[in-house]
Each structure stands twice: as structure tokens, then as C-alpha cells.
Amino acid sequence: MTDRVKIFDTTLRDGEQSPGCSMTREEKVRVARALAELSVDIIEAGFPAASPGDFESVAAVAREVRGAVVCALARCTRADIDAAWGAIREAERPRLHVFLATSAIHREHKLKMAREEIVRLAAEGVRYARSLCEDVEFSPEDASRTEPEFLTEVVQAAVDAGATTINVPDTVGYTTPQEFHETFTHLKRHVRGIESVTLSVHCHDDLGMAVANSLAAVRAGARQVECTINGIGERAGNCSMEEIVMALKVREGAFGATTGIRAERLYPTCRLVSTITGMPIPRNKAITGENAFAHESGIHQHGMLRHAETYEIMRPQDVGLSRSHLVLGKHSGRHAFRERVRELGFELDEGEFNVVFARFKALADCKKELFDGDIEALVLDVEGGSAGPWSLARLATTAVTGEPARAEVELVHGDGRRLKLAASGDGPVDAALKAIEQALGLPLRLRKFEVRSVSEGEDAQGEALVTVECEGRTYRGGSVSTNIVESGARAFLDVVNRIETARQSARRPQAAAG
């Protein structure tokens, strides 16, 4: 019989902790809606005690998302738990997630606490959380490096105190599939009452084994997997949702378990998160990378033509990659365009559709043929853009061989302010970025500038992704245009808008918790 594994998405909490992946409140709500559409069981929306901005984002997700459980993280302290509960109490189905480190290294060096104190605090935290919320998850942080008998003792205390889910994290990505299988088997054998709670697994990818370790836990009885879209997360990231979901779907027989995820929505969701975070999906990424379904060698192509299953264990359309050779152009109407947008897995409301359609018409005027990549980029530019206060009203560049390039920019703020500045630089992109930087007077340091083509042909659109440092924080931004200097300038402005939003949310007073 096939069991159901719950998918607990922590893109908005653990994923967002990844350097440069921070999202604004509006972006988090957009991602949370996409996760609900994907049918994830639980959305971990953030860590409300961490900052006023986090509190507000979690509260916004809790108010707006329906269907999925909305979860907030807290340490085992009353103040944290009150803040978490204050943020999610309006959710249709709230969950409190409390955690406390248990390994010797964390006890000695981070917490400076003895074992007995850890057991007491874990039980008190869970009991207090249960007094507020019926659905309470407990995580012994760094469980995989905790002495098995002590892990059993802490988990027993959490179960006795009323935890409804016990999550076992491999916080530093250290365990192996066999070892983690034993950890889960040990807990199932030694914790009284464990059969009435959901066992959950949470893996990091430091040794590239997050998905394999999570699958081993599922084989040992875990019925909740914690994961993130595109595997984003602390350091090397978390278990990737698209990979674990497809492993459980394609190899259902091997694991005896599957998920309730609408797999055909995986690719659009991964693209949305990639655009919002400015973290490109690597070309060779399993499931969603550009090469995941590409067959280059003659032998493979021959086999594929005879029978697709010779070299394909799943079809691109199973994960929402419904690529077609249907090309749209300036004579394509609203209906054809809307159909294509839907086939690519995007749901737009009427207002968004009108904006994207107007941009499609403008692009079709200067580009003969529009491919799926172009349409996807247009939709994501509207859905995933920072929609911040600054926009580019005019950009003019000149570049003559052997001479510094020059750029003139005109920026408009939502409140009507206009700024004009000219600068020279090492090439037109550099000149344009310098002009924007000087016009706004921000201490920006450009760390990375990447351009890739989103479709085919000489007139293909270029997607620019920039990584910038400002006052000790890393920001990423992106934009698309047929003119790569313009997409670079717009990507830079995307970053500027993110910085402005982050500054505004830091200035906002702390929302009342509890």
C-alpha cells in the first residue's frame, strides 16, 4: 500500500536564510500563493521573532493563504512562541514549530546548557506552544550529531508534552542515508507514543546527500519531508522539493510512499522563486534545469525517436515543462497568448494578463518570433519583479572602440521625483550602472553580473542577473530585454528597489506580538 508523505515547504524560512535570497513581504505572499497552488501541505512562512519584517511577512502569509497549514518558527522561549503565535493566529490552519539544539557541540559552545536543562526547556516550550495552538512541531536541532540515547530522551519529553510532529534535522548536512535510516528506526523503537505523532525529516545538502538522506528517512517511516524550492537554504541549501517529489513519484514502488503535490506546477514555481530570489536554476539541475530533458548524443536521440522511455524516466510535461515549437508573433491574438501562458503553467489575474499582453505586443513589434522562453520571461518579469519605487524612464549609451563608454540615465520615483545623470565606464553596461549608482548615491558594490539568452535566434532576449553588496548585505536582481545594456540597468534598479524596501521594513516599528 502507498502511504502519503506530507510536503513541508520551508522556502520562505530556511530558504530565505540563504545569502542574497531575502524576499520582501509581497514577494513572500506571491511565493506562498504559488506553494498553495502546488498543493504543499505545510508552508513555513518565517521566524517572526527574528525581525519586525519577518513578523509582518508571516502574518501576511497567514492572512492570505488558504488550504495549506501555515507554520511559524520559534525558539523554546515564551517571547519567541508569543511572537510566532501572534503572526499566525489568523491562519486558517496554524502550526507552531519550536526548536532547541541537542548535540553536545551545541550544548557546550552555543547554549552552554546541561542535558537536563535542554530536556526541561524543550518540554516547557512544547507545552506552552500547545496551550496556544493544537498543531505543534518540535525539532531537536543538530539531531544527526546528537547522542542517540539523549535524542530519544528529548524527543520523549517533547512527545509527552504534546508535540504533534517530531522533526529530525540534519542541520549541518553530515549524516548518511544508512545512518539516518538507523536514527529514525531507533526513535520509532524507543520513544513511547511515537506512533501517534508524525515523524518528519529536515536535511541540508552540505555533502550533496539531502535528498538521499530524506528518502532514507521516508523508508524508515518519516511521513513529512521538509524541503525548499530549488533546494535554496543555509550554505549548500536544503533538500530540493522538485527532486524529492519526483523521486517519490517516479519510484513510488521503491519507497511505498508518494505526495499530494501537483507535479505539473513544479517548473513554473521553481522559475518564479528563481526570478524572485535572482538565483538562476543551474543548467544541469535535476528535474528543472535546461538540460534535464535535452538529449545531445546521436545514440540517445536515435533511441528517443524510437521510444521516448529508452532514455527518459519522466516526461517534461510531468513537471510542467510543456515546451512546444509553436511560435507566437505580432499577429497572435489575446486568446492564443492566454492559452500559451496557461500551458506554460502560469495563472494570471486579468490585470496582470493585460500588462503581460501589452508587453508581448511591444516585444513582438521588435522581435520576429516569440518562443516559450520569451513568454515565460515576460510573465516572470511582471510576476517576479520587485515593483519597487524606482523605474527607468530613459537610457542612452554610446560606445566607441578604444574610448570609455558613456551612459545617460533618467530615473523616476513613484512619488514623482526624477533624477538624471551621465557617467562613463568600462563598456556601456558599466557606464549605465555607474550612472544609476551615482544618481542614487547608494554605497553599492557589484559582485556579479550574468547575462543569458532566454530563447533562440539573433534577436533573443537577454536575461541579466546582478548580485550587489550594500551595507554588509547581499542583494540579487534580474530583468529581461532584447537590449542587454537595458536589461542590465533594469536588473540593477531591481536591486536598488529591493534595498529601498528592506530599509523601509527595517524602519517600521515592531508589530505587537501575542
Q: Which residues bind ligand KIV (CB under 6 A)?
A: 14, 99, 139, 141, 167, 169, 171, 202, 204
To ligand KIV, the closest distance from the beta carbon of 94 in angstroms equals 18
- Residue 204 CB, shortest distance to Zn ion, in Å, is 6
Give the one entry of ligand KIV, Zn ion, none that residue 48 binds, where binding means its C-beta sits below a cut-off of 5 to 8 angstroms depending on kind: none
Question: Residue 251 contacts by C-beta under 8 Å, 6 or more apart in sequence?
Answer: none
* Least distance from ligand KIV to the Cβ atom of residue 47, Å: 8
Q: Are 21 and 277 in contact (CB under 8 A)?
A: yes
Identify which of residues 166 and 191 has a Cβ nearer to ligand KIV in the complex. 166
- How far apart CA 321 and CA 276 sit, in angstroms, is 19
DSSP β-bridge partners for residue 481? 462
Alpha-carbon gap, residue 411 to 462, rounded angstroms: 21
Return the axis-axis angle of helices 428-440 and 484-507, rounded to nearest 10°.
Answer: 30
Query: 204 or 434, CB closer to ligand KIV?
Result: 204
From the CB of 169, what's the least distance to ligand KIV, in Å?
A: 3
Q: Considering only 11-19, 30-38, 70-78, 307-315, which stretch makes contact with Zn ion by CB under 5 A?
A: 11-19
Q: Of 139, 319, 151, which is closest to residue 240 (Cα–Cα)?
A: 319
Partner interacting with residue 214 (select from ligand KIV, Zn ion, none; CB below 5-8 Å by kind)? none
Specify the residue, 14 or 137, whose C-beta has the smaller distance to Zn ion.
Answer: 14
Angle at 194 between CA 192 and CA 6, to 5 degrees: 175
Q: Give helix 52-64 / helix 25-37 axis angle, nearest 10°.
A: 40
| Shortest reach from residue 10's CB to ligand KIV, in Å | 7
Q: Indicate whether 142 belongs to the interface with Zn ion (CB under 5 A).
A: no
Closest CB 179 distance from Zn ion, rounded Å: 18
Nearer to Zn ion, 47 or 353 (CB): 47
Q: Cell 542541520 maps to which residue?
A: 171
Binding mask 448-487 for Zn ion (x = CB under 5 A): ----------------------------------------
Shortest distance, position 196 Cβ to ligand KIV, whole Å: 21
Stretch touching Zn ion by CB under 5 A, among 9-17, 383-391, 493-501, 502-510: 9-17
Give 18 or 275: the residue with its C-beta nearer to ligand KIV. Answer: 18
CA–CA separation, 424 and 59 (whole Å): 45
| Candidate ranges 14-22, 57-65, 114-122, 320-328; the one touching Zn ion (CB under 5 A) | 14-22
Tell me if 246 sits within 8 A of 263, measured CB to CB: yes
Q: Closest separation between CB of residue 113 and ligand KIV, Å?
A: 17
Rule CB under 5 A: say whether 137 interacts with Zn ion.
no
Nearer to Zn ion, 234 or 408 (CB): 234
DSSP conformation class of 235: T
CB of 202 or CB of 490, closer to ligand KIV:
202
Which CB sits closer to Zn ion, 238 or 479?
238
* Residue 53 partner contact from ligand KIV, Zn ion, none using kind-dependent CB cut-offs of 5 to 8 Å: none
C-alpha span between 152 and 166 (Å, rounded): 11
The answer to the question of residue 14 lying near Zn ion (CB under 5 A) is yes
What SS3 state is found at 99? strand
Residue pair 446/433 in contact by the 8 Å Cβ criterion: yes
Q: Which of ligand KIV, Zn ion, none interacts with 139 (beta carbon under 5 to 8 A by kind)?
A: ligand KIV
Q: Which stretch binds Zn ion (CB under 5 A): 8-16, 19-27, 79-87, 215-223?
A: 8-16
Cβ-contact 148, 183 below 8 angstroms: yes
Residue 355 CB contacts under 8 Å (≥ 6 apart), including other chains: 382
d(Cα 50, Cα 84) in Å, to the nearest integer? 10
CB of 99 to ligand KIV, least distance (A): 4
Q: Could you tell me which of 94, 15, 16, 20 has the C-alpha nearest to residue 61?
A: 94
CB of 89 to ligand KIV, least distance (A): 21
Site size with Zn ion, rule: CB under 5 A:
1
Cβ closer to Zn ion: 228 or 455? 228
Query: Of the candidates 275, 196, 270, which has an alpha carbon nearest to the alpha carbon of residue 229?
Result: 270
User: Looking at beta carbons only, is 18 or 288 nearer to ligand KIV?
Assistant: 18
Residue 141 touches which member of ligand KIV, Zn ion, none, C-beta under 5-8 Å by kind: ligand KIV
| Closest among 492, 463, 466, 307 to 376, alpha carbons compared | 463
Residue among 146 and 487 whose Cβ is closer to ligand KIV? 146
The residue (of 166 and 379) whose beta carbon lies closer to Zn ion is 166
Rounded CA separation 105/113 (Å)? 11
Stretch that binds Zn ion, among 10-18, 25-33, 108-116, 250-258 (CB under 5 A): 10-18
Which pairs count as long-range contacts for 268-271, CB under 8 Å and 24+ apart, including other chains? 268/34, 268/320, 268/344, 268/345, 268/346, 269/34, 269/35, 269/37, 269/38, 269/229, 270/229, 270/230, 270/242, 271/376, 271/380
Taking CB atoms, the residue at the shortest distance from Zn ion is 14
For residue 429, which of 497, 484, 468 has the smallest C-alpha distance? 484
Residues in contact with Zn ion by the rule CB under 5 A? 14
